[in-house]
Amino acid sequence: MDSVWGNIFRFERDRVDNTKFLEKIPIFAGLRKGELRALERITHLRKFQRGEIIFHKNDPGVGLYVVRSGSVRIVIDQPGASPSGEEPILLANLLVGDFFGEASLPDGSPRSATAIAEEESELIGLFRPDLLDFCSRDAKTGNKILWNVCEVLAKRLRHVNDALSSRKVALQKEQSK
């Protein structure tokens, strides 16, 4: 098979693989095969080199990324650190199947941290403008995705609340000693 046809068929195979991969991601849970195929058509597969910045903190939030291969570091600068100064604080190390940036999907708010490719990585991006168009065309599937996003955000909010509560309790205990 020559390279042109090889590339065309590989493109189709990639799409099928992406659909199968997306099926396992919690944000796309409960979507049927046809819905997943429609969703796959609005996603973007991006390849990043080792050390390449995916986005910076405070960049306009455009959407979420799912790690398809490789790994991603989420970092923030030390408070008051100069840009070329101290090592940034590592918030999370994300592996295959993990996703990040979902908070910008509902409101397009600026990125709260910087994302860097830890190694050569492939990410699947789902972006706000495409999702908004998709929701206006296919409200039923769009609804399912948005509910899933809400669930994830609610879980993360609960987690942050719990962490904050336990910190406050610990602080109060220390102050009372």
Provide the binding-site residues for another protein, judged by CB under 8 A: 41-42, 44-55, 58-60, 62, 116, 127, 129, 136-139
Q: Provide the 8-state DSSP code for 50.
A: T
Nearer to another protein, 15 or 152 (CB): 15
The 72-76 sheet, strands edge to edge: 53-55, 114-117, 72-76, 89-94
The answer to whether 17 and 120 have CB atoms below 8 angstroms apart is no
Beta bridge partners of 76: 89
CA distance 137 to 131: 10
Nearer Cβ to another protein, position 8 or 163?
8
Supply the minimum distance, in Å, between the C-beta of residue 46 and another protein: 6
* Token pair in block for residue 143: 């609804």
Q: How far is the CB of 36 from another protein (least distance, A)?
A: 17
Please identify, using beta-carbon distances, which residue of 51 and 97 lies nearer to another protein. 51
Task: Give the span between the Cα atoms of 123 and 60, in whole angstroms.
Answer: 18
In whole angstroms, how close is the CB of 75 to another protein at the nearest point? Answer: 10
- Output the smallest distance, CB 154 to another protein, in A: 26
50 versus 158: smaller Cβ distance to another protein: 50
